[in-house]
Structure 1
C-alpha cells in the first residue's frame, strides 16, 4: 500500500518517509508550541531582564517591567511599571517606577507612584518617595521616607470646598 501512494523516484527515501511521518508531526507541534507561550507570556506579563553578568552604565528607560540581576549605574526611569532588583542586583542609580521591589543592593533614591518593598535580604541606601513602603525583617535601609498619598486626599478637600460653597449659596437663599 505504501508503493502506490509514494512516487517511484523516492524509493530510496521510502525508509525516510516512514520516519518522516513521525518527524514532521512533532516539527509542526514544536513550531506551534514556542509561538503560543511567547504570545501568552508577552500578553500576560511584559518583563525584560538584565542578567547577573551584565553591566549597564547610563539611562534605562522603557514601557515594560524590568528584572535586574546585574549591575546598573546611572538612572532607571520606568514610570507605570515595576522594577525588581534581584538578589544579585547591584544598582547605583535613582529609580522612578510604579513599584519597586528590592532583593539586592540599591544605592540611590527610589520614587514610586505605588509602593516600594525592601525584602529581607535587600539593601537600600537613599530616600524613598511612595504611597506605601514595606521593609521586611532583615532588610537594610538608610535614608528618608516621604509617604505621598494619592490624589484621593485632594478630592475630599475639593469636595469639602464645593460643599462649603454650596452651603454658603444656600445660606443667603434662606435668609
Structure 2
C-alpha cells in the first residue's frame, strides 16, 4: 500500500459538516470588525418605523422613521436613502440622509454622501464633494454623556 500523504479521518475537510463549520467560522471572522457584528438592509428593502437595539447596521435600501443604536455604528450606504433621525455612536453617510443626527463619537460624510439635518457630535469629518446643510453642534464630551436634551451653558471669559 502506498501512503498518499493525507489523512481521510474525521479532521478531513472532505467531511461536508466540517466544511460548513469552516466556512461559517471564516464568514464570522471576516464580518467581525472593531464595531462588532453588522446587519444589512438591502437595496430592495423599504422599512417604515423604528430601528432600535444593539448591533451596527448598513443601510442600502430605504428607511423612514427613526434609528436608535446608541452604542453602535449606522452606515448609510451608497444606495441608501434614509429619512430618519439617527442616534448612534458613529454615523457614516455615503448615500442620502434627511434627518437629525446625534453621534456619540463621530460623524463621517463621504464624498458622494449628502446630509440635510441638524447634527450633534463630538467629532465630524466631511470629504470634498459631500453635501451638508443644517446646524452643527460639536460637543467636547460625548453627545450621550452630555444628555440629549440638556443645554450646554456657554463659558464666559472675563
* Same structural fold, with TM-score higher than 0.5 when normalized by the shorter chain: yes
**Equivalent of residue 113 in structure 2, options 115, 122, 136:** 122
Match of 1:81 in 2: 72
Q: Could you tell which deviates more after superposition, 73-82 or 44-53?
A: 44-53
The alignment's C-alpha RMSD in Å is: 2.2
- Structure 1 residue matching 2:108: 3-state secondary structure: strand
- Structure 1 residue matching 2:16: 3-state secondary structure: helix
**Cα deviation 1:111-160 (Å, max 9, x = unaligned):** 00101011000000000100011111100011000001117xx9xxxxxx
The structure with the largest strand share of the pair is 2
**Cα deviation 1:37-72 (Å, max 9, x = unaligned):** 244356543000100110000000120011000000
Q: Offset of 1:28 from its aligned partner?
A: 3.8
TM-score scaled by length of structure 1: 0.69
Cα distance in 1 between the residues matched to 2:28 and 2:125:
33
Unpaired runs of 5+ residues, structure 1, are 2-23, 155-175
Moved over 4 A (4+): 41-44
**Cα deviation 1:75-128 (Å, max 9, x = unaligned):** 000001000000000000000000000000000000001010110000000001
**Equivalent of residue 35 in structure 1, options 13, 24, 34:** 24
> Taking CA–CA contacts closer than 8 Å with sequence separation of 6 or more, which of the two structures ends up with the larger relative contact order?
2
Unpaired runs of 5+ residues, structure 2, are 2-12, 147-158
Cα distance in 1 between the residues matched to 2:76 and 2:28:
25
Cα distance in 2 between the residues matched to 1:39 and 1:52:
22
Aligned residues: 131
- Structure 2 residue matching 1:138: 3-state secondary structure: coil
The structure with the largest helix share of the pair is 1
Alignment of 1:41-52 (within 5 A): 41=30, 44=33, 45-52=36-43
The structure that has the greater radius of gyration is 1
TM-score scaled by length of structure 2: 0.76
- Structure 1 residue matching 2:20: 3-state secondary structure: helix
